[in-house]
Structure 1
């Protein structure tokens, strides 16, 4: 399958997470609105067939800082006692400082492309944290340490909770409060009349990247569909100005890959097939999908799908075999049989130290 990367520049706050299944839903509605319902039906029919390719596979969205991709931090085997003792030597055996630093690293959500390229053939928490404690990488999202930063591991501002001039923020979250007005009384409803929504504001310099694998799908259509999404808005609260963005497309991208992989990092919300994998380190979450497009305006059907258990991006999966995608489109998730749930992931192949 051909590969491309879409780089998104947010122009407004986002009220929805940049999930792969939400992107896929927007793509489906884009096909219907820009082309025809018949073309959407043909597009979706390809996903129900057992095939080594699909028309289009998409990752979730992740941030870029200084044009460097950040990937979801891998879920790996916890450190054992021997590995902890080995890492604590970088702090001269001062256990309190060491465990405080370790706790800070465990909280990170992302991992930089540079360190992933370095560790893709030997990935473990021990090797990842060692890169930081040796002073080569910053503890914040495991980015390459800035040349101007002279801090050692012991006096690193991030470990000591002090202000650091080199840390670049990705985004901030804010609760926006709303009133529901009763149009008859012109007053706020007593029950549920006052509520808040969470909005994510991305820093001006931050970009969001997503990968798309595609086969038998024209790249010009991908451009047209994403142009449609960019001006109509992504996710919730589009009508109030949320989710607008600019974008650019890069073709023939090179994705990090181990020379001798035995696992993959999940890059999308993943609903696995029965025979997808033999071992895994993973996080799971429950997804209750909300209807969009034409379905969102129908009062005759429920506006939410049935709950489904998904594997979260960053999980590491040991598959039975290696291919371009894993997972499935889930059907029968709603009383209306036309409604489906996207659960296919793009894999990032690595070699993991399991034992």
Structure 2
């Protein structure tokens, strides 16, 4: 597979987080409307997605947000005391250090994309250029009663939804794996540009979810042997029996069809429980693909052939094989 980094600039507020599985769904809708995006028809690509994914998208990560850090990834979901395993601290010092670490939600990554789970590599929002990435607010909505020409009570009462807006000059990176037999770089960029133009996620029809592609560059496939664990870049379902140890935060995807199926009688998909991005997996065997996970099927009554990307691109992470919790 080929590995690319797509740098984007958010141009509006977002109602939906830029997670890998949702980006994959949006790209599939683009391929459905523009068959020339893929080198084969979408039905064929989806039919064999469980055996051979044609594309695997990461969730968005901040780019050049912290000093001396090209990327900042979500803090890995290993126990907090892992970051202090090499330090000789008293009980009181460990409690205070743990409290401090809870506010450091990010792990700095170098250009080589080999992560080191050390305390010095952690960063808080206050370490960013604007003391953060985004702010959360609300957006007002209403439904007009066509009989009265105004809002009213019940289903016509005004309501608010949550929205987060990135600060000016914030850039995000998406890491994408593609199979060149099905998809090439130019058509990947073309599809992603259309998503950014027409909007991503909830409330795209009201102007939410807009972004612009700033740059696209190829990267070498990650050298997974450079670490003693694998760090996931998107929500996924790690395969049984392939890992000796796994740390993760559960993430439940309550999926909903978009585009042409948004208004059908049953637009909602069956919920899928996944490990959120930032999971750390210690392989029990050699991993020969730059991704882990699987595809999830049987999630939709409106479109039975629907699949969920429960794959995730992975990066090597050094967590220290001799940590005291493993002795």
Task: Bin the TM-score by the shorter chain.
Answer: 0.7 to 0.9
- Residue 13 of structure 1 corresponds to 13
Aligned equivalents of 2:231, 2:80: Cα separation in 1: 16
Give the alignment's Cα RMSD to 1 decimal. 3.0
Give the CA deviation at 1:259. 5.3
Residue by residue over 1:132-160, the C-alpha shift from the partner in whole angstroms, topping out at 9 and shown as x without a partner, is xxxxx67425969xxxxxxxxxxxxxxxx
- Residue 60 of structure 1 corresponds to 59
- The answer to whether residue 67 in structure 2 is matched with residue 104 in structure 1 is no
Kindly indicate whether the alpha-carbon contact (under 8 Å) linking 1:110 and 1:142 is maintained by their aligned counterparts in 2. Answer: no
Give the CA deviation at 1:288. 0.7
- Residue 135 of structure 2 corresponds to 172
Kindly indicate whether the alpha-carbon contact (under 8 Å) linking 1:179 and 1:195 is maintained by their aligned counterparts in 2. Answer: yes
Aligned equivalents of 2:75, 2:222: Cα separation in 1: 14
**TM-score normalised per structure 1:** 0.78
- Which one has the largest radius of gyration? 1
Residue by residue over 1:104-146, the C-alpha shift from the partner in whole angstroms, topping out at 9 and shown as x without a partner, is 32233221114997863xx3xxxx22x2xxxxx67425969xx
Residues 26-45 of structure 1: pairs in structure 2 closer than 5 A:
26-35=26-35, 39-45=41-47
- Structure that is richer in strand per residue: 2
- Residue 140 of structure 1 corresponds to 124
Give the CA deviation at 1:344. 0.6
- Residue 308 of structure 1 corresponds to 272
- Residue 79 of structure 1 corresponds to 81
Shift in alpha-carbon separation, 1:244–1:260, aligned structure 2, 3 A: closer
- Residue 308 of structure 2 corresponds to 341
Residues 255-294 of structure 1: pairs in structure 2 closer than 5 A:
260-294=226-260
Shift in alpha-carbon separation, 1:249–1:40, aligned structure 2, 3 A: farther
Aligned equivalents of 2:159, 2:43: Cα separation in 1: 38
Q: Report the secondary structure of 2:237's partner residue.
A: coil
